[in-house]
């Protein structure tokens, strides 16, 4: 299964890289609007999110909205041993390149405890309508999410939806998949 997932990642990354810029721009706006229109976003006092990279939907408007709305915003800090922490961010200006070149919060920022956030926005390479996600392959989110009970939303371009993806017992299914066409439960 590991090799199958690796091949799928390569294929979906190539598909994502080929998405037209005008499609991405429109889809980014629609995905952000769908997240912000959700009850989970409206009720959340704390949100765990990610800084988008490569062919992922642009999360910057959501990160800015969370801070503007006074929500506690947590972003990942990743360590080489496969451990990820949720770290509070007061300003996006405080981010600097961390593991894998992904912008991360400063080392002295507050680390989240279970219950500090009720919504997690999760990246993917591809996802299915029933909540299976193909991550980037390091397993950070699959190890992290079970320790932090919350509503999970995978942000995925509609053109990156798959009919089926291989999953194993360690893969965490998402509560929702959000595309430019709206929220899929």
Q: Domains of the chain (ranges plus CATH)? A: 2-184 (3.40.50.10420)
Q: State percent of the chain over pLDDT 90.
A: 86
- For 92-134, the pLDDT digits (tens) are 999 999 877 889 998 889 999 999 999 999 999 999 999 999 9
Dist CA 181 CA 99 (whole Å): 32
Alpha-carbon dihedral of residues 119, 146, 1, 134, nearest 10 degrees? 10
Dist CA 60 CA 68 (whole Å): 12
- For 55-103, the pLDDT digits (tens) are 899 999 999 999 999 999 999 999 888 899 999 999 999 999 987 788 9
């Amino acid at each position: 299964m590991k090799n199958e997932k690796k091949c799928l990642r390569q294929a979906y990354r190539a598909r994502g890289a080929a998405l037209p810029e005008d499609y991405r721009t429109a889809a980014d706006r629609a995905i952000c609007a769908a997240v912000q229109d959700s009850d989970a976003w409206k009720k959340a006092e704390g949100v765990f999110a990610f800084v988008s990279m490569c062919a992922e939907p642009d999360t910057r408007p959501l990160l800015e909205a969370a801070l503007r709305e006074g929500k506690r915003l947590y972003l990942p800090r990743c360590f080489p041993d496969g451990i990820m922490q949720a770290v509070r961010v007061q300003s996006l200006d405080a981010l600097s390149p961390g593991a894998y070149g992904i912008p991360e919060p400063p080392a002295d920022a507050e680390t989240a405890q279970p219950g500090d956030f009720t919504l997690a926005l999760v990246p993917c390479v591809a996802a299915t309508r029933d909540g299976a996600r193909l991550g980037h392959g390091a397993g950070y989110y699959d190890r992290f999410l079970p320790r932090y009970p919350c509503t999970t939303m995978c942000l995925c371009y509609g053109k990156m939806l798959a009919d089926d993806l291989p999953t194993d017992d360690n893969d965490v299914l998402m509560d929702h998949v959000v595309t430019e066409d709206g929220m899929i439960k």
